[in-house]
Structure formats: structure tokens, C-alpha cells
A and B are shown apart, each in its own frame.
Chain A
């Protein structure tokens, strides 16, 4: 690719927060017609750089040049007017308004102060058509799934350059996509990528942030790697393989992940721990049989909404089954409430660690101790010395950072929050640990640590039910893979060298295991 003049150049960017230098002397450039990945671990400065660029944060040093002229960006609105649009991880649109209105609100076509609804809808439909999307623009946004809402957010950000009177303004030159794929399933991601490629071919410069390395390699042309607020390097994606990238991001040779590849899947020949017979719930998941052996890691594979979480919730008693029974360690357990499951030695780490797991206002120590205290009952407090010892042990074992039991959990990074949640359940020494998307939204280093932990727990005889969106992850860790499709457990596959992600994908797609 011949290198034309970059549409955006950031040089010597410095951003300081009290006590922290979030960005020091970072250079970044973006070329028209390319998809550029911004890579780095959590806390490397990706979000800060984006927020500086979009005017959410002010600059403490350095210059931003857009199309050859130096610019000052003071607010998100100014960024939009300059042609820099952003789509955030959470869809920031109004679900109560129609698709067309979401695309145009704030710059509706008006005549004499009166909104021209017909024109608005027609132009929204044109815009949607031009991008090859099939969306009814007069339907309310809330009637579409998250993925389509995400696409609408992109359509909106593209239209921001257009003037209110209908004249074409500068248009979007730079499109920033901040973790747009974190809650999409595979099909939805593909649609997003199709749109991104289309825009790239139209000459838009796209800045793409994602935790999924495969996605970066699938769609990006170039990448910039940050570490600890400094620039590590800029590379063409085709010149740098995944191992090299991970090493750049972590700043050290990456033995951890390889180690996991080597991990010997010992045969899950232990005794049966949990046996579910015909367990099911109308509207949740069709009746299924599942046997979990002692020390076995069972991975659940399936698309978003295929019933992975519903299955786990049934095993934990968070939802009540309509049919079937559960036997744990030979005894039948009535799963009418999570307490029954906890008593039987089942622990459940929810996928929504913020809303269903941690209490952000409490400290690390309090969060870790919560489940153990609950199982003892409030009349028998855990002695302070024993408590502190336990907490210190798990902070060390899981490498929770900062290693301060008094730190507020809400201030921790996503990966560390996940570890706190894990520690809470590990402390109760469960027989079966259910992990629902434990690695979502956390950086690659923490991800590897959590996966390693799962392996060592299973070697110690704990059974683990592991749910993850990434098939590689499931494949790497599990002894047995349960495949879900349309809220039905369609296959159980014993893991082995001949099992590949494409085999599992086929099973998901066809609904049967060959």
C-alpha cells in the first residue's frame, strides 16, 4: 500500500491525571481508507487516547493534526463537527425513538423550525440502503437486537457531518469503534465487519479497538500498540503474528499461553460428581442430561443466546427447573434456590460481574469474604485473623492488583474484579465451579492467568463448568465440550487432538455431531 498523507496525526501526546501519567509522548497516525487497530492491555492508555481524540479529556501536551491542519478538540460535539465520530461499547442511542430519529436527532431537517419527518425518514432510509443494511427506519430502535443497534450507531456517526439544511458537510473522516464487538455473536460481528470494510473502501479511516485478537487479524490493516501509556510500535497487521503482538503488548516473552496449549488433558475418568436428568425450563432451555465428573472441565460452546447461561443458572438454582432432577455426589438435590446449590458445593460466577456479582462500594476483603460468611450465617462471624489470612492468601494466589485488601472493588480493572469474584467462590472450596464468561472484557494477561487457574483447579479435583464466547478458549481448557444450539444441548464431544474449532462450529451450525 502506497502511503498517502495521514488524515489524522497525533504527535507527542501527553495526558496526566493526579498521580498518574496516563499517556506520555504517544504518537499515532491514521490513514484514509484503512482499519487501524489500537492494541494494549487494560490500562495501557487506549481509552485515554481515544478520549483525548474525541474531546472528552483535554490535552496536557502534544498536537493533533487533522487533514494537515492543527486542531484543538474541546468537546465531543467539536470532535463530531471536525469529522471524528465515535461508537462506544455500550450503544449510546435512545431506544425509545425510531431508528431514523436516532440517526438524525440533533440535526433533523427542518423548515421554519418544523421537523420534516418525511424527508428525515427518506434520508435515513437512503443512508441505511447505501451501507447495504436492511433496517426499517421507522421502527423503534428498541425493537432491534443490540447488534443492529450498534450498526445504527455507526450509521448515525457517519451522518454527523451532514448539515441540517441537507447540504453535505465535511462528512466523517475518522470513525472510532471502541469495543463494538464485545457483546455481539459471530454472525453479528461479520455484519459489522462487512460494514467496516465498505466504509474503508469509501475512504473512511477507522480506528478499531477490540480484545479479540482474531478479530484484529481478520479485519485490520495496521495496528498501533501501547503499553503503560507509551507507544510500543506501529505495524502492518500482516507483518506481525499473534505471538509477536502479544509479546509487544505484555512486554515480555509470552510463555503462559503456550504453556496452556501444552496442558495435558487428563482423562476425566473420575467418579461422577453431578448428574442432571431431563433438567429443563420452558423458555429457558430444553430438557437435557448432563454428567459432570470429579475434576472434569466441561466447556459450553454455542452462540450468544443459545442457552449457555440458562443451563448454568438451572444447575445453580438461580432459575427453577420445570422438569428433571439433579443429583450431586449421589444425593438428589432440590434446586429451588441458589442456597441449595451452594450448600451442595456449587459456585457460580455470573457473566455480569458488575450487576450480579461484586459490590463495587465494598473493599476487596469484604467482597472476597461475602460468600463464605453467608454460608456460615451471620451469627457466626469469621475470626478476624483467619479472615485476613484467607484474604491475603487468595490475593496472592490470584495475583490481584493492587494487592490491598482495603481497596474498593469498583476502582479495580475488569480483570482484577473478575479475580476477586473468583476468590470469593474459591474460598468456599466448592466441588463444582460454574464460570460464565469469566474472561469477557479483560485483557490478555489476566485472561491467561484465569485459564491457568482453571487448569490447576481441575487438577486438584474441582469440577468446572466453563462458558466462553471464544471457541478456542473452550477447546483449550475443556475435557468435554457441550454444544448448545437454539436453547438445546445438541451434542457432547469428548475433547481430543482431532477436535478443532471448525468441528465445533460445524456442530453448532448443523445441530448434530458427526
Chain B
């Protein structure tokens, strides 16, 4: 048993009961979100079975329609785990759609050349924000807010109007279907799942990933433990910038155009997905798997509202708001419990 039980002063609060341990388990929020997803899916099945809700493709469409959001949310997960925040995600996605559309349509560059360029720009943008946050010790909220305005403004510098992409290789890429037997996935969906898997590996099996958790847990301690917290912080924002750019590319494929107003406010969707997925906004606790379920829950809300037919799409926002509020209250409850 734990060493604490030997101390005569040990009271009940020191040796948590089974229930207390279960509540204190950091995996619990992920399980709750996964359960929520299953319940919602079950409700959808019972209500709309006659309308084809049970088709495997409806499930797979969640990945196809939300792949870009998943990639962006994975990037945001890194940032939030480290105790920071990234508000520039939506603007970065919008900028990437414009940048890509402009290079492909107006400059005639092949998409295979444009992809690495867009990713490099995104990663560099994230790097710059991380550099400023670390070296000048400025709140990430402010720095990435500046990034939000900057990249949205740059969209309009490229063009004030939307640029639709007619390039043949882009459309063939966008329409490519990877058959899974019972249905198919788009390239975007597959990329997003690969990103998820890589992020999981990085966070749990590399030193960099563990440093992200350590810094989110207690930055001061991380420094005194001799961890290079500056490099880690910059890297975290670079990862987020890279993921935003990749999400922008997937969004371009999904929507086949660039528009200065694309993905406005999507950073908030991404943050909502991360929080609903059980990651603590204070950092240090959470899993990318939770983020996947967070994105799926948000996607499922959209699907259900579509199947309902009579509801306005704004109900998606209302449902998201209610969920977010509920989950933050749950988090609050869990963290206060842990302290006692």
C-alpha cells in the first residue's frame, strides 16, 4: 500500500477511497466524453434510424466533415496542455486557404509544391508567436490574439475576394475516396487520423511530449528540474501553427476555395473540442484521444441537427455552449475534489 498509511496522522483524506481514486483518475474525463458520444449516437440511432442514421457512412462522415477541425484541435491540445492558449488557429486556417488558392490559381504552382510551402509558413508563424511569448514573457492570450488579427489581415492583402480552385489535381485529391468496405474516407479524414496517432505518440513516448505535460503542470518546477522550458514552449506553438496550416490545407480540399473569411472563429471550436475532450484549461492534464471525442461530439451535434431538419444550424452553437459549460463545471468539481 502507499507509504502514507503508516503515518499515524493519516486521516481519510490522505488515502483516497476507491471512489475518490476513480474521480481523481485523469482518464475519467475522456471516458465521460466517450460515453457522451455513445449516448448521443444511440439517441440519434433511435430517432432517425428510418432516415439512414445507422449507415456506417454517416459515422465515417463525422471524420470526413470534421477532419480539419480535428487537426486544428490536436495542435491546440499541445498548447493547452502546456498551460497556454492559441487564438490564431482560425485566422491561420483562413490564411492558408487564401495562400494555397492564390498560389495554385493565380500563380499556377502545382499543389505538391504549395503544400510544403503552406505548412512551412504556418509552422513559422507559430514559431514566431512562441518566440515572443517565451522571450518577452508576454501572455499567450495577447500574442496569439495579435496573430489572429495579423493573419486575418494578411488574407485580405492577398485578395479581398474569394478564390475558387479549379485545378484538376486538387479536385481529384479532394474527391478521392479510400474504401473501407462498409464505407469510405476522404484523404483529409485519413490525414487527420494520422496526425492524431502521431500526436499521441509524441505526447506519450517522447521527452518533448512529457515536457509539455511538465510545463503545464508547474512551469516553475519544470525550470528548476532543469528542463528546457523555453524551447518546449516555442515548439508547442510551432506545432500548433503547423497543425493550423495543415488544417487549412484540409479545409481548402474540403471546400475547394480560398476565402478571406473562411474559418472565422474556428479557434473557438477547436478550444471547445479540446475542453469537452477533458483537457484542463490550466494545463498539464488531458489526452489527445479526448480531443478526438470532443471533435466527434461537436460533429455529431451538427449531424443530429441536420437529421432533425427543422432546427436552425445555430442550434449547433447553443448545444456547444451548453456542453462546454457543463464540462467546465465538471472539471472544476474534479480539481477542487483533488485538493481536499
A residues adjacent to B (C-beta < 8 A): 76-77, 80, 88, 91-97, 101, 105-106, 108, 110, 113-115, 117, 133-136, 139-140, 142-145, 147-148, 156, 160, 185, 187-188, 303-306, 486-487, 509
B169 to chain A, nearest CB (A): 35
Interface size for chain B: under 10, 10 to 19, 20 to 34, or 35 or more residues? 35 or more
Check A306/B227 contact, CB under 8 A, given A97-B214, A115-B206. no
Is A114 a contact partner of B214 (Cβ separation < 8 A)?
Answer: no
Most chain A CB atoms below 10 A, which of B16, B211, B214, B221: B221
CB of B205 within 8 A of chain A?
A: yes
Give me the 8 closest cross-chain CB pairs, A-B, nearest first. A94-B217, A96-B217, A96-B284, A92-B221, A134-B3, A77-B226, A92-B224, A94-B214
A54 vs B224: C-alpha distance when bound (angstroms): 11
The reply to whether B213 and A96 form a contact with Cβ atoms under 8 Å apart is yes
Assess whether A113 is in contact with B225, with CB atoms less than 8 Å apart: no
CB contacts (< 8 Å) of A148 on chain B: these are 3-4
Most chain B beta carbons < 10 A, residue from A134, A143, A185, A487: A143
Instruction: Name the CB-closest residue of A to B10.
Output: A145
Interface SS of chain A: loop
Q: Kindly state whether residue B2 has any CB partner on chain A within 8 Å.
A: yes
29 contacts between A and B (CB under 8 A): A76-B226, A88-B224, A92-B224, A93-B218, A94-B217, A94-B225, A94-B284, A95-B217, A95-B218, A96-B26, A96-B284, A97-B214, A97-B217, A106-B207, A110-B206, A114-B206, A115-B207, A115-B210, A134-B1, A139-B2, A142-B24, A143-B2, A144-B3, A145-B4, A145-B10, A145-B14, A148-B4, A156-B225, A187-B8
**Is B11 in contact with A305, judged by CB distance below 8 angstroms?**
yes
- A residues near B24, Cβ cutoff 8 Å: 140, 142-143
How many Å from the CB of A161 to the closest CB on chain B?
12
Nearest Cβ on chain B to A82's Cβ, whole angstroms: 12
The contact of A105 among B6, B9, B21, B225, by CB within 8 Å, is B225
Would you call B216 an interface residue if the criterion is a C-beta within 8 Å of the partner chain's C-beta atoms?
yes
- Considering the complex, give the chain B residue whose CB is closest to the CB of A144: B4
Chain A residues, Cβ within 8 Å of B211: 105-106
Interface residues of B in 188-214 (CB under 8 A from A): 204-207, 210-211, 213-214
Report yes or no: B338 in contact with A142, Cβ–Cβ below 8 A: yes
User: Which residues on A sit within 8 Å (CB–CB) of B28?
Assistant: none
Which residue in chain B gives the minimum CB-CB distance to A101? B210
Cα A115 to Cα B211 with chains together (Å): 12
Given A156-B225, A509-B8, 14 other A-B contacts at CB below 8 A?
A76-B226, A80-B226, A94-B218, A94-B221, A94-B284, A97-B214, A105-B211, A114-B206, A133-B3, A142-B338, A143-B2, A160-B226, A187-B9, A486-B9
> How far apart sit A77 and B222, CA to CA, in the bound complex (Å)?
12
A134 touching B2, Cβ below 8 Å: yes
Q: Which residues of B contact A156 (CB under 8 A)?
A: 225
Q: Report whether A305 and B210 are in contact in the complex, using a CB–CB cutoff of 8 Å.
A: no
B11 touches A486 (CB 8 A): yes
Q: Give chain B nearest CB distance to A24 CB in angstroms.
A: 27
Given contacts A105-B214, A115-B206, A135-B3, are A93 and B9 in contact (CB under 8 A)?
Answer: no
Docked CA distance A305–B340 (Å) = 12
B16 shortest CB reach to chain A, Å? 7
Output the residue of A91, A139, A145, A185 with the most chain B CB within 10 A: A145
Contact between B9 and A303 (Cβ–Cβ < 8 Å)?
yes
Residues of A within 8 A of B216 (CB): 96
Which residue, of B26, B210, B222, B226, has the highest number of chain A Cβ atoms within 10 A? Answer: B226
A509–B7 Cα gap in the complex (Å)?
12
Decide if A305 touches B9 in the complex (CB within 8 Å): yes
The chain B residue with its CB closest to the CB of A157 is B225
Query: Does B46 have its Cβ within 8 Å of any Cβ on chain A?
Result: no
List chain B residues, Cβ under 8 A from A110: 206-207
For the complex, what is the distance from the CA of A92 to the CA of B4, rounded to whole Å?
A: 20
Answer whether residue B313 sits at the interface, using C-beta atoms and an 8 A cutoff: no
